[in-house]
Chains A and B, each alone.
Chain A
Amino acid sequence: MSHRFSDVAALKDELAGVDYLSDEGIAGVVYLADRLQKPILVEGPAGTGKTQLAKSVSEITGARLIRLQCYEGLDEAKALYEWNYKKQLLRIQAEGGSDEDWTDLSDDIFSDEFLLTRPLLEAIRSEEPVVLLIDEVDRVEVETEALLLEILSDYQVSIPELGTIEAKQIPLVFLTSNNTRELSEALKRRCLYLHVDYPDMEREKEIVLTKVPDITENLADQVARVVRSIRQIELKKHPSVSETLDWAKTLVLLGVEKIDEQTAASTINILLKYQSDINKALKELATADGVTP
C-alpha cells in the first residue's frame, strides 16, 4: 500500500501550502495516522482549527471529504445506512399478483439497489481516496459511540441482511471533540490522540499573516501579543484562533496601525463574548504589573 506522505517535514510544508500552519505535533500525528492506518481523535478548545485540519488534509491529498456531523440523537440510519423503505414497498407492489417466490423477493429487496448509504458507509465504499471527518463526536451519546467502533478498528460495516462490507481503500479518518464529555475508552483506544491547543505566539502571528490579507507584520505581531496576554487571564472563554483572525481583519478594515488601549477597548468584543470577560480583560490589561502566571 502506498503512503500519502513521504515524511513529516514534507507534510508540514504541504499543509502550509494550503494555508494550514501546523506544528511538529500535528504534522507528526497525521503522518503516523497514514502509516499506521489509524483514525485520529483531535481534541481541544473550540476554534483552534480541528475541523480545518481535516479539510486541509483532504485538500493536499486530493481526496474527497466526507463529513458526518454528530448531534444528540444521531442513529444508525443517519450515520451508517438505511433501507429505502418506500422503494422496497414499490417493488413488492409491482410484483403483486405474480407468483414470485417470497425468498427471491426478499433477497431482491434487501440488495444493494435498495440501500441508502450514509456518510460512514459511503466513506468505505468509495473507490477513490477519501478523508472521513466525524465532527464533534462528543455530542453523541455514549451508546451511539459503539456504532463507530467497527468502522474505526476494522474499516468495515456489517449489515445483517447483506453481510460485511469491507473498505475498498483505507480512508483517513478524523474525529473531532470539544471535550464536553469523556469519550469512552474503547473509542480512544482505537485512535491516535492529538490535542490541538491554542498556538503559541509565534505560530499565531504566522497564522494571522497567512490568513488576513493586507496586514502588516507589525500589526500581526501586536495582535498575537495582545491575544496571548488575554489568554493568560482567567476567563470563562478564551479567544479562539478564529476570533483572533476576525479581530485582525477588523483592525485592518479600520485602518489601525498600532493597537493602543483605546482601540483595544473598542474592538475587544470581537475577541471576547461574555460581558464579564470583557470587563475583566480590560481591567487587567490596563494594569502595567500583570499577573504572575
Chain B
Amino acid sequence: MTVTDAADATPEGVGDPILDLLNGFIVQLRAAGLPVSLTENLDAMQAIRHVPLEDRETFKYALAATLVKHHNHWKAFETVFEVYFSLRGDEYQVGEELVELPEMDDDEQGDQQGSGDQQGGGGENLTPEELAEMLYQSLMRGDQQMMRGVARQAVKRYAGMEPGRPVGGTYYLYRTLRNLDIDGVLERLLEQEQNEDGEAPSDFEQRLARDEYQSRANQLQQEIEAEIRRRLVADRGVEAMAKTLRKPLPEDVDFMHASREEMASLRKAIWPLTRKLAARLQRKRRHGRKGPLDFRRTVRASLSYGGVPAEPKFRNPRPHKPEIFVIADISGSVAAFARFTLHLVYAISGQFSKVRAFVFIDGLDEVTHMFEGVEDINEAVHRVNTEADVVWVDGHSDYGHALGVFWEKYGNEIGPRTSIMILGDARNNYHASESWIIKAMNEKARAVHWLNPEPQSYWDTGDSIVGEYAQHCDGTFEVRNLRQLEAFVDNLA
C-alpha cells in the first residue's frame, strides 16, 4: 500500500497537487505561530512519500514528526490539521449524505452491535427521546461509532447551524451540549451502576465509575466539536476557519485574559517551567567563572615547580545568593498574574537564600509564612488569597499606601543583597503615588524590578502611573505570558 517504490525510483514521485496542498498547510501552520523551517518543510515532503496517503492517522503523524518539534505546539498543529484536511478523506464527506446514518459511511464497521436497529429507518426522523436514548446507550458502552452517530444527529438537530451565519463554533457547541444534557445522562448512568450491584458502592468505586463515564463524555464532546468544525469548514472554507480557530500557543497566552481552560493548562505548564529554570540556574552557577586568584595556594603549588608559579590556583566562586522580596498586587485586576509569579518564585526559592513574599491591595501583609512547610503550592496560594490582611479602607488598589506600609514595617530589612520585584499594573485609582519610597528602596537594595502584566501601550493611560514608579526602578518589564516571564527570570539569575 505504500508508495515507497515510486519514491525510491523518482524524486518527482509525488504529483504537484500534493505539494501545493502541503505548502498551503505549512502556510497555515506558520500563520498559527508554529516555527516551521525550510528543512522541516522538505522533510515533510520526503516523509509523505513513504506513508500511505489514504491512512489519515499515519499521514498526520508523519507530518507531525517532521513539522512539530515541541509538545506544546501539538494542539495547535492538530487544530490546523483537522481544519485543513477536514474535507479531504472518505469518512469526511459533507453534503447531502450528511443525513445518512453513521453506519452507512463507516462501512468497515458494517455490523454494529444492536445499535443499527434503533436507528434504522432514517436518522432524520429521530425524536429527541430516541436521540437521548442513543446518547445513553453510547455512553454506557463507550462505543466510538455510535458516539459519532450521536454527535452527527445532535449537531444536526440542536446546533441550528445556518450557512453564512457569522458566529463561532463555540456557540454551536454550547447549543448542542445544552440540549443534550450530558451531565444528566452521567447521573443516570451512575445510578444505574449502583442498582446493578445491588449494594451501594463505596465512594472510591463511584469515583472510578464517574471518571470512566466522564472520559467517554469528553470523547463524545470531541466528536461533536469535530462535526461542527466539519460543517463550518464546508460552509466557510478552509482559510476562514483556520483563522477563526487560531489560538495563541501556550507560551503566548495572556495571563490577564486566559480562559478557564487555558488557566488550567498554564498551571500545568508552570511546574515544568520552574524545573527548567532551576536546572538552568544551577548549571550557570556551576559552570560560571572561577573565583579570584588564590595567592596562598598558588605559591604552595609553585614549590613543586621550583618556585615557578606554573599552575595558578583560584578560589571557588562565591555563590551569588540574592534575597528576593516579592511585592505583589493581588487586587482583582491582576490577581491571575500575581498568582503565577508567586508560584514561580516559590518553586525556584531553593535557588535563592531567602525569598519573602508580600501581597497588597490597599493594605499590605507578609505571606512568607504561608508558603513555609507547605508542599502544595496551590493550597498556599489559596490561603494567601483568603487569609492575608490586605484591605485597609475599601479594597481598591492604593499603591501609595501599600508601599508606605511596606517601608514602615519592613524597610529596615532591605539590604544590599536584596532584589525587590514589584508585580502590578500600577493602576492607583488616582491616589498619591508616594514614588519616593521606590527611590529610597532602590538606594538600599541591590535592584528593584517592576513587572507589569499590562501591554506596554496601556501604560500611563487612565489611572496607571507606572511611569512615575519606573523612573526609580532598575527595570520595568511587560510580563504578559509565560515566554516573557521565563525570559525575565532567566535574566534575573
Minimum C-beta distance from A34 to chain B (A): 9
Do B204 and A290 touch across chains, with their CB atoms under 8 A apart? Answer: no
How many residues of chain B get a CB closer than 8 Å to chain A's CBs? 53
Give the contacts of A88-117 with B (CB-CB under 8 A).
none
Do A236 and B271 touch across chains, with their CB atoms under 8 A apart? Answer: yes
User: Which residue of the partner chain, among B37, B65, B70, B272, contacts A194 with CB atoms under 8 Å?
Assistant: B65
Give the contacts of A182-211 with B (CB-CB under 8 A).
182, 185, 188-189, 191-195, 201
Minimum C-beta distance from B394 to chain A (A): 35
Minimum C-beta distance from A202 to chain B (A): 10
Do A286 and B280 touch across chains, with their CB atoms under 8 A apart? Answer: no
B51 within 8 A of A: yes
Give the contacts of A151-206 with B (CB-CB under 8 A).
179-182, 185, 188-189, 191-195, 201
Do B65 and A28 touch across chains, with their CB atoms under 8 A apart? Answer: yes
B257 within 8 A of A: no
User: Which residue of the partner chain, among B47, B64, B74, B279, contacts A36 with CB atoms under 8 Å?
Assistant: B47
Whole-angstrom distance between the alpha carbons of A288 and B39 in the complex?
Answer: 51
Name the residue of chain B whose CB is nearest to the CB of A190.
B39
Q: Mark B258-290, 1 if CB is under 8 A from A, else 0.
A: 000000000110011001100110010011000
Do A181 and B276 touch across chains, with their CB atoms under 8 A apart? Answer: yes
Given contacts A28-B51, A36-B50, A274-B375, contact A228 B210 (CB under 8 A): no
B9 within 8 A of A: no
Name the residue of chain B whose CB is nearest to the CB of A194.
B65
Do B206 and A288 touch across chains, with their CB atoms under 8 A apart? Answer: yes
Do B275 and A180 touch across chains, with their CB atoms under 8 A apart? Answer: yes
Do B207 and A285 touch across chains, with their CB atoms under 8 A apart? Answer: yes
B2 within 8 A of A: yes
Do A180 and B271 touch across chains, with their CB atoms under 8 A apart? Answer: no
Whole-angstrom distance between the alpha carbons of A44 and B74 in the complex?
Answer: 13
B429 within 8 A of A: no
List residues of chain B with CB within 8 A of the CB of A150.
none
Name the residue of chain A whose CB is nearest to the CB of B204.
A261
Do A181 and B50 touch across chains, with their CB atoms under 8 A apart? Answer: no
Do B207 and A229 touch across chains, with their CB atoms under 8 A apart? Answer: yes
Do A290 and B215 touch across chains, with their CB atoms under 8 A apart? Answer: no
- Provide the main secondary structure of the chain B interface: helix
Given contacts A32-B50, A201-B215, contact A193 B69 (CB under 8 A): yes
Whole-angstrom distance between the alpha carbons of A260 and B203 in the complex?
Answer: 10
B170 within 8 A of A: no
List residues of chain B with CB within 8 A of the CB of A274.
375
List residues of chain A with CB within 8 A of the CB of B375.
236, 274-276
A62 within 8 A of B: no
B104 within 8 A of A: no
Given contacts A188-B69, A261-B204, contact A182 B47 (CB under 8 A): no
Do A290 and B65 touch across chains, with their CB atoms under 8 A apart? Answer: no
Do A7 and B210 touch across chains, with their CB atoms under 8 A apart? Answer: no
List residues of chain B with CB within 8 A of the CB of A7.
1-2, 52
B341 within 8 A of A: no
A43 within 8 A of B: yes
A225 within 8 A of B: yes
Stretch in B54-62, B310-318, B441-449, B456-464 with 4+ CB within 8 Å of A: B54-62
Whole-angstrom distance between the alpha carbons of A228 and B46 in the complex?
Answer: 37
User: Which residue of the partner chain, among A189, A261, A276, A285, contacts B69 with CB atoms under 8 Å?
Assistant: A189
Minimum C-beta distance from A147 to chain B (A): 16
List residues of chain B with CB within 8 A of the CB of A35.
4, 47, 50
A55 within 8 A of B: no
Given contacts A28-B61, A194-B65, contact A229 B376 (CB under 8 A): no
B68 within 8 A of A: yes
Do A228 and B211 touch across chains, with their CB atoms under 8 A apart? Answer: yes
User: Which residue of the partner chain, among B55, B211, B275, contacts A225 with CB atoms under 8 Å?
Assistant: B211
B214 within 8 A of A: yes
B378 within 8 A of A: yes
Whole-angstrom distance between the alpha carbons of A274 and B375 in the complex?
Answer: 9
Name the residue of chain B whose CB is nearest to the CB of A142.
B283
Minimum C-beta distance from A229 to chain B (A): 5
A127 within 8 A of B: no
Do B58 and A182 touch across chains, with their CB atoms under 8 A apart? Answer: no
A141 within 8 A of B: yes
A273 within 8 A of B: no
Minimum C-beta distance from A46 to chain B (A): 12
User: Which residue of the partner chain, among B35, B52, B215, B283, contacts A228 with CB atoms under 8 Å?
Assistant: B215
A74 within 8 A of B: no
Do B65 and A32 touch across chains, with their CB atoms under 8 A apart? Answer: yes
Give the contacts of A1-25 with B (CB-CB under 8 A).
3, 7-8, 24-25
A266 within 8 A of B: no
Do B211 and A189 touch across chains, with their CB atoms under 8 A apart? Answer: no
A214 within 8 A of B: no
List residues of chain A with CB within 8 A of the CB of B46.
36
Give the contacts of A49-105 with B (CB-CB under 8 A).
72
B118 within 8 A of A: no
Do B68 and A193 touch across chains, with their CB atoms under 8 A apart? Answer: yes
List residues of chain B with CB within 8 A of the CB of A201.
215
User: Which residue of the partner chain, among B4, B271, B280, B378, contacts A181 with CB atoms under 8 Å?
Assistant: B280
Give the contacts of B21-57 with A (CB-CB under 8 A).
35, 37, 39-40, 43, 46-47, 50-52, 55, 57
User: Which residue of the partner chain, among A276, A280, A286, A290, contacts B214 with CB atoms under 8 Å?
Assistant: A290
Q: Mark B184-206, 1 if CB is under 8 A from A, else 0.
A: 00000000000000000011111
Whole-angstrom distance between the alpha carbons of A213 and B212 in the complex?
Answer: 26
Interface centre among A25, A193, A228 (most CB of B within 10 A): A193
User: Which residue of the partner chain, among A8, A229, A292, contacts B58 with CB atoms under 8 Å?
Assistant: A8
Minimum C-beta distance from B286 to chain A (A): 8
12 A-B pairs with C-beta separation under 8 A = A31-B51, A191-B69, A201-B215, A226-B208, A228-B211, A229-B208, A236-B271, A264-B204, A284-B207, A285-B204, A290-B207, A293-B214
Having A3-B4, A201-B215, A228-B211, one finds 9 other A-B pairs with CB under 8 Å, namely: A8-B51, A28-B57, A28-B61, A36-B46, A43-B71, A72-B283, A182-B276, A234-B378, A286-B204
